Amino acid sequence: MYQSFNPTPRTLMGPGPSDVNGRVLTAMARPTIGHLDPEFIRLMDEIKALLQTVFQTENELTIPISAPGSAGMEASFVNLVSPGDKVIVCQNGVFGGRMADNVRRLGGQVVLVEDTWGRAVDPHKLQHALQTHPDAEIVAFVHAETSTGVMSDAAELCGLVSDAGRLSIVDCVTSLVGCEVAVDDWGADVVYSGTQKCLSCAPGLSPLTMNERAIERLKSRSLPVASWFLDLNLVMGYWGEGQTRSYHHTAPVNALYGLHESLLIACEEGLAQSWARHRRNHLALCAGLEALGLEFIVPENERLPQLNAVGIPAGVNEALVRQQLLQQFNLEIGAGIGALAGKIWRVGLMGYASRAENVFLCISALEAILSQNNAAINRGVAIDAAQAIYEAAQD
C-alpha cells in the first residue's frame, strides 16, 4: 500500500512551475464550496477584475480557463479558427510550433513565418506575410518564448496586425506579471497565459482575455466550435455578469482560490515593481553566469528577465548536472526542448522564485557542480559579479 505523498521541497528555477508562495498553498487548502455558491460567484468576479488589472485590459471576457496553459492556447484557436481558415503563425521556438499544430488540427491552413530559435520574431517578415496573404485573417505569435528565453516586441507586432485589419492571438504564458503585458495598449485581440510562471500559482489554469472584435468573429461562426469544453459561448454563460450563472462544467474551485490569492499578491506588489524586481534579479543572474563563463543564447536586448537560456559548457553531461543540482541542492533548473534539447539550460526567475537568494543559490550551486564535473569555468568570481549588480541597483 502507498503512503501520503510528502514531496521534498525544491527551489524551482526551471521554465515553470515556479516556486509557489505559501499564501497560495494555504488558500488552495481552504474548504471547497459549490461552484454556484453566492460566495464563489463573488470570488469569480474578483478574479475577473484582478485578471483585468494584470492583463492591463478592460475586456469583459477576461477569465481563467479551467485547464493548463496549453488549453488556453487551444481555447484561443478553437474558438476563432474554422476549417479552411488561413492563419499566419510566427515561429521562433517550441510554442509557435504548437500554435501551428493547433491550427492544422482544426483544419486550418498555416502560413509559417520562421525566425531563428533564440531570436525575436522579425516584424519585417510578419509585414511581408501580411502583404502576401491578405486572406489570412488571424496572426498568432508568442510574446515570451519559454523554449528559448526570447521576448518579442508584442506592441509592434500587434500594431502591424491591427493596421492590416487582422486579429492577433498572443501567447503570454511566461510573460504575464514578469514583464509588461499591456493588452489594450498593444491592441491585442486574444491573449492567454498560465498560472505556474510569474503568477507563482500552482499549474492548472490558463487566464485568457478576448476583446469585442474577437468575440464578434466567434459569434459569427457558421460551424459550431469543435470543443464543447472550451466553447467560450458556453463558458461565458458561467463566467458572465450578474448573480445568475448557468452551469457549464464544474469549476476547479480550490485551484481558483489559489489563483485569486496569487493575483492579490501581484497587485499588492504592483505590476511595475514586479517587472523591476524580475529585471534586477535577471541582471544579477546574468552577471553571475557570464562571470562563470556561461553564454546566453539570446542577444541582450531580446532576453526575457524571467527565463535565462545558456549554452552547456563543452564536455559537460547536461542531464547529470541537473540531476546533481536536484540531489545535492534541491534546485531544479530546466533542460532545453525541441531543437534546443541537450544544448541549453533554462534558468527561470519567475514570480515568487525571482529573489536574490535564489540567484545566489543558483550561481553558487552551478559553480560547485560544474567544478565537480571538471568543466572549464571561472571560479571564485561569479558571486561578486552578481553582488555588484545589486549594489549598483541600490545606489
Nearer to a copy of itself, 56 or 254 (CB): 254
Closer of 103 and 126 to a copy of itself (Cβ): 103
Query: How near is the Cβ of 258 to a copy of itself at its closest, in Å?
Result: 8
The least CB distance from residue 365 to a copy of itself, in Å, is 16
Question: Among residues 49 and 376, whose Cβ is nearest to a copy of itself?
Answer: 49
The residue among 5 and 219 lying less far from a copy of itself, judged by its C-beta, is 5
Task: Give the residue with the Cβ less far from a copy of itself, 12 or 179.
Answer: 12
Kindly state the smallest distance separating residue 323's Cβ from a copy of itself, in Å.
Answer: 9
For a copy of itself, which is the closer residue by CB, 150 or 255? 255
Q: Smallest distance from the beta carbon of 177 to a copy of itself, in angstroms? A: 17
Distance of closest approach, residue 126 Cβ to a copy of itself, in angstroms = 23
Nearest distance in Å: CB 376, a copy of itself: 28
SS (H, E, C) the chain: CCCCCCCCCCEEECCCCCCCCHHHHHHHCCCCCCCCCHHHHHHHHHHHHHHHHHHCCCCCEEEEECCCHHHHHHHHHHHHCCCCCEEEEEECCHHHHHHHHHHHHCCCEEEEEECCCCCCCCHHHHHHHHHHCCCCCEEEEECEECCCCEECCHHHHHHHHHHCCCEEEEECCCCECCECCCHHHHCCCEEECCCCCCCCCCCCCEEEEECHHHHHHHHCCCCCCCCCCCCHHHHHHHHCCCCCCCCCCCCCHHHHHHHHHHHHHHHHHCHHHHHHHHHHHHHHHHHHHHHHCCCECCCHHHEECCEEEEECCCCCCHHHHHHHHHHHHCEEEEECCHHHCCCEEEEECCHHHCCHHHHHHHHHHHHHHHHHCCCCCCCCCHHHHHHHHHHHHHC
